[in-house]
Homo-oligomer: A and B are copies of this chain.
Amino acid sequence: MTNVIPAQPYDGRHVLADLHGCSAALDDIELIEGALRGAADAAGATVLDVRLHHFGGGQGVTGVALLAESHISIHSWPEHGYAALDFFLCGRKHDIDAALAVFIEALEPERVRANSIERGYGTVEAN
């Protein structure tokens, strides 16, 4: 008996999450890096590289995790208690909700607004 496993269409999910009213120190680059790496791990993703940039004392941090499965990014504005995240991961086995939960625990927002967009070469077939 032969099992035929069809090629999987690429069905990516891109989640944009806005975290408002964060209690955590959004200028803390080590906190941001830890959350970024923890989120990638929680998603079950493979980290290729992590790059961070600090805009200076009391100012925001930009961070991107390059993943074998695309990327996760964060940009923070400490003066507004605001952080903008995006999670782009291919395949259904990766858990973006778990990745977002890591950031929520680390950054302690009052409000979270998330948009989820389906994308990938598989998605155009339905058009």
Q: Which of A30-49 contact B (CB under 8 A)?
A: 48-49
Cα A64 to Cα B68 in complex, Å, equals 13
A: residues with CB less than 8 A from B are: 10, 12, 14, 16, 18, 20, 48-49, 51, 53, 55, 62, 64, 66-68, 70-71, 73, 75, 77, 80-82, 84, 86, 88, 111, 113, 115, 117, 119-121, 123-124
Complex CA distance for A62 and B47, rounded to whole angstroms: 12
CA distance A48 to B56 in the complex (A): 14
Residue in B55, B68, B77, B124 whose beta carbon sits within 8 Å of that of A121 in the complex: B77
Cα(A12)–Cα(B124), bound, Å: 27
Instruction: Please give, as numbers and ranges, the residues of chain B lying within 8 Å of A67 by CB-CB distance.
Output: 62
Q: Can you list 25 A-B contacts with CB-CB less than 8 angstroms, sorted by A residue number?
A: A10-B77, A14-B86, A18-B121, A18-B124, A48-B53, A48-B62, A49-B51, A49-B53, A51-B64, A51-B66, A55-B68, A62-B70, A62-B71, A64-B71, A70-B73, A70-B75, A71-B73, A71-B75, A73-B73, A77-B121, A80-B121, A84-B120, A111-B124, A113-B124, A117-B117
Interface of A, secondary structure class, is strand
